Amino acid sequence: MLFRAAAPAAAPLPRFSRRRAGASLVKTVIGVHSRTMARDIQERIKKLIIDRRLAPGAPLPTETDLMELLGVSRNSVREALKALQAMGIVEIRHGFGTYVGPMSMAPMTEGLAFRTVAGHYRGEDSLLQLLELREAVETGLIARLAGQVPGAALAELDELVERMAAEAAQGAVRADTDRAFHAALYRGLDNRLLSEVLDAFWEAFHRVRTDLAGLGADPRVTHRQHAEILAAVRDGDARSAEQAVRSHFDNIRQRLRGSGQK
C-alpha cells in the first residue's frame, strides 16, 4: 500500500501582517462611514434651506443651533458648511455667520472650463465638443425668440451689432462684444438658469481661446453673421434665425479645424 506525503500546511501569516491588515480594514470602514456621514449632514442642511424657503443671502442657524438640530459635533457642522460653500450653496462670513449662497452656476463654470482646457492640452477635441453643445442649445432656442424680443432688447442688440461693425473696421471684433450679443439675445427668454449655463459654455471655450480673431476670423464675416441673426429675429423668421445661428457656428468650427485646434 502506497502512502502519500501530506501537503505542507500553509504558513500562518505573521502576527504583524494580520494586525496591519486588520488596522487597514478598520481605517477603510471608518473612512467610508465618515464620508457617508459628511454627505448626510450636507444633505440635511440643504433640506433645511429648502424646507424653510430661505432665499440667497438669508442667514442660516448658528453653528450651535445646527449642532442641536442635526445632533452632530461642531467640527462635523463646520466641515459640512465648508463643503457647501465650495458648491456656492452657503456663504461663510467670518465674524458674522453663515448665509445662503448666491446659488449661481459658478462651480459648474469652473469645472467645465477646467475640463475643457485640460482636455484641449491633452490633445482631445474638447473645444469642438463644447462648441457642438453650445450650438445644440442655441439653435434649439433661437426659434422661440423670433418675433418675440421686446423693443428695448432689440435696441441693445442694435447697439452691439453697430459696435461689431466699428470693431471690424479696426481689424477685429472683440470677444466680449460677441459674448454680450449672445447674452442679450437669450436674456429675452427670461430664464436665469439658461443664461448662466450659456455663460458657462462661453467661459469654458474662451479660457483656451479668448479672442477668436487669433484663429483667423474675418471680422467682417463675424459682424455680418450677427447682423443676420438679429434681422431674422426682428422679422420673426424662425427658420432664417436658426440657419443664421448654424452658419455662425459652422464658421467657428471651420476655423478651429483649420488651425489644428481641438
For the stretch 95-117, pLDDT in tens is 899 999 988 777 877 888 888 88
d(C-alpha 178, C-alpha 44), whole Å: 42
Residue 78: pLDDT over 70: yes
User: Which fold does the domain 23-100 belong to in CATH?
Assistant: Arc Repressor Mutant, subunit A (1.10.10)
- Residue linked to cell 430661505: 54
- The band of 121, judged by pLDDT with boundaries at 50, 70 and 90, is confident
Q: What's the rounded Cα separation, in Å, for the pair 230 and 253?
A: 21
Looking at residues 17-32, what average pLDDT do you find?
52
d(CA 39, CA 26): 20
Give the three cell numbers for residue 202: 462661453
Of the candidates 192, 200, 193, 181, the residue with the CA atom closest to the CA atom of residue 142: 181
CATH of 106-258, one of 2.30.30.40, 1.10.10.10, 1.20.120.530, 3.40.50.1360: 1.20.120.530
Return the closest-CA partner of residue 236 out of 144, 159, 121.
Answer: 144
User: Given this model, what pLDDT does residue 106 score?
Assistant: 78
- Which is higher by pLDDT, 245 or 109? 245
> Mean pLDDT throughout 68-90?
93
Q: pLDDT higher for 105 or 186?
A: 186
Among 19-28, 137-146, 167-176, the range scoring the smallest mean pLDDT is 19-28
pTM over the 0.85 mark? no
pLDDT at site 30: 45
Residues 191, 237: Cα–Cα separation, whole Å: 22
Q: Where in the chain is CATH 1.20.120.530?
A: 106-258
